[in-house]
Chains A and B, each alone.
Chain A
Amino acid sequence: MQVNEFKPKIVAFCCNWCSYAGADLAGTNRLNYPADVKIIRVPCSCRVNPLFVLRAFQRGADGVIICGCHPGDCHYTTGNYYARRRMTLLFSMLDYLGIEKERTRVEWVSAAEGAKFAATMNDFVATVTKLGENKRLEDLRCKK
């Protein structure tokens, strides 16, 4: 048995109407993805403030993923369009500051895409695991 194997901490923000339901569907279909992913339910991807993303990294997250309805399918019609611009710019800025761009991701997952949700999380966890611990945006005071 391996000990001290690196287990990344992943925060997933999921919109209530599509992606959270997609995550539920992944569960209903018993599609496995790593327990490292913990989901926070938000009404819409546009509720995700860049501050939340930074907060997660500060508190020791190794990856942050935001999932919402596909563009054009937003429950609130336009929320994910704003989220798309905000997150694109935020991620670009993090990359500009030399923070590994693979630690952040936006993925559109509909309520019917349980399989996509599981596959996305498997892929994201694998990517972040390969990167290892988040060192560049950590807050040492929050480390245990």
Chain B
Amino acid sequence: MQEVMKNKAKELLASGEVRAVIGWKKGEFCYDITPAVFTNAEEIDNGFIYDDFCGANLSKYLIKEAHKDGKVLVFLKPCDTYSFNQLLSEHRINREKVYVVGVSCDGKVDIEKIKRTVGDGIIALSSDGDKISVETLYDKYEINRADALAERCVNCKSKKHVAYDELLGDEGEVLDSKRFDEVEMIENMTADERFEFWRNELSRCIRCNACRNVCPACSCEKCIFDNDNSGYVNKAPVTSFEENMFHIIRAFHVAGRCTDCGECSRVCPQGIPLHLLNRKFIKDINTLYGDYQAGEDPEARGPLTSYTEKDPEPSVVTDKE
């Protein structure tokens, strides 16, 4: 697959169809794959990678790249295409300036899961079908790929690309995912347990803003939390309130727009399951206002910018047992 993608990128660069290619390249470590912009064949030959660790959602990079002259090629995995559509619907990307190549995806690997088994000091990784071979400074391991899949891939919601100009690999389908099970588990706790659970998670927040910076929906020109003039400026979680507020408001601001790409949880250095906040909103929206998948249809009206006269009253929340 990687070679096919490289050739496609080089072909379109050579023909002048695209000015640049957004893909992935190697980072500091072998598992540390990072988004990159390539502008010539040499860069692609030397750096372009597509492997089990290319989890990064490249759609957000288009906001900047697609502002420049000329077309940009972007490789999008199925879940990334939802973010792409959502950004289109919010006029953040000029569709004409993007050439979307959909790439099939059989799930990406969560390095933290591997580390839990092998410990630190990983120096080489290779995957072969169902197995992943890991070499550390101390030993060699073989791990079942299925056990190392990221949570969002275990609970993958769709293997279907909702937007592309060209597709490499096979097209998949929308899946019946169990992604709300964990939300439901938390809902079933008592209020005290929930409070404990979230204090335990959110108190670890160091406000590095990684979740915000990676999130395709969090792409405001200026974030209210950085804006001295907004009245809510808040740059460090000084108190438990601020830890809560940042995440509540961040989740609220993306509610109805979040496609559940799961990038927030992937990048959180503290391992806070932030997707559980976003999924709570998605689950509520689905139950209260009808199923809605952000990004599925760029023409659709979001659940928070629409209403019906028969919507349930807020008392469904405040009066429930």
Contact = CB atoms under 8 A, between A and B. Distances in A.
Interface of A: 50-51, 54-55, 57-58, 71-72, 78, 81-82, 84-102, 104-106, 136-141
B284 A95 contact: no
B317 A91 contact: yes
B196 interface: yes
What does DSSP make chain A's interface, helix, strand, loop or mixed? Answer: helix
B198 A139 contact: no
Interface-central residue, B186, B198, B244, B281, by most chain A CB under 10 Å: B244
Contact of A139 (B241, B277, B285, B305): B241
B249 A50 contact: yes
A75 to B, nearest CB: 16
Given A88-B313, A100-B191, 6 more contacts: A81-B307, A82-B304, A82-B307, A88-B284, A95-B194, A98-B194
Contacts, number: 118
B207 to A, nearest CB: 15
Contacts of A88: 284, 288, 311-314, 316-317
What does DSSP make chain B's interface, helix, strand, loop or mixed? Answer: helix
Interface in B286-319: 288-289, 303-305, 307-309, 311-318
B239 A94 contact: no
B238 interface: yes
Given A92-B280, A104-B318, A98 B252 contact: no
25 contacts: A51-B232, A54-B245, A57-B241, A71-B309, A81-B311, A84-B314, A85-B288, A85-B311, A86-B304, A87-B314, A88-B284, A88-B313, A89-B284, A93-B248, A93-B252, A93-B284, A95-B318, A96-B186, A96-B198, A97-B198, A98-B197, A101-B317, A106-B318, A136-B195, A139-B239
